[in-house]
Amino acid sequence: MIRKYILIKTIPKKEKTITRDLCDCIYYFDDGVRCEAVATGVIYVYTYINYFEACNSMKYFKALIKKFEVFDHVDNKEPSCVGCHVVKVGSLYFIRMG
């Protein structure tokens, strides 16, 4: 299994609470999980996708998480890759290879 960067859109102004709760849930499965609120209503989580999905399937998180996207890499500078999907949030670039 490979860890992925998961960009999550959630309820604005609740991202810090949701980040904490989601990270606590995933930590049960993965003690190397990393979670961060990166913008209003946006969180990123670095973990195994199946552990995220286990927590996301809970009623509590289903009500709070609007949508999510999975990425391969995160960088502080704009990537120069061809054919990759890039989303910029704050100062971070989330990159998914073609």
Q: Where are the domains of the chain?
A: 3-71
pLDDT of 98: 76
- What's the rounded Cα separation, in Å, for the pair 13 and 85? 27
Which percentage of the chain shows pLDDT scores above 70? Answer: 100
What integer is the mean pLDDT of 62-91?
Answer: 94
Output the CA–CA distances (angstroms, integers) from residue 64 to 41, 44, 73, 92, in the order listed. 10, 14, 25, 23
Which range, of 21-30, 60-69, 75-84, averages the lowest pLDDT? Answer: 75-84
Domain 3-71 class, CATH top level:
alpha beta
Mean pLDDT, rounded, of the chain: 95
pLDDT surpassing 90 at residue 1: no
> Residues 49-73: pLDDT tens digits?
999 999 999 999 999 999 999 999 9
DSSP code for 29: T
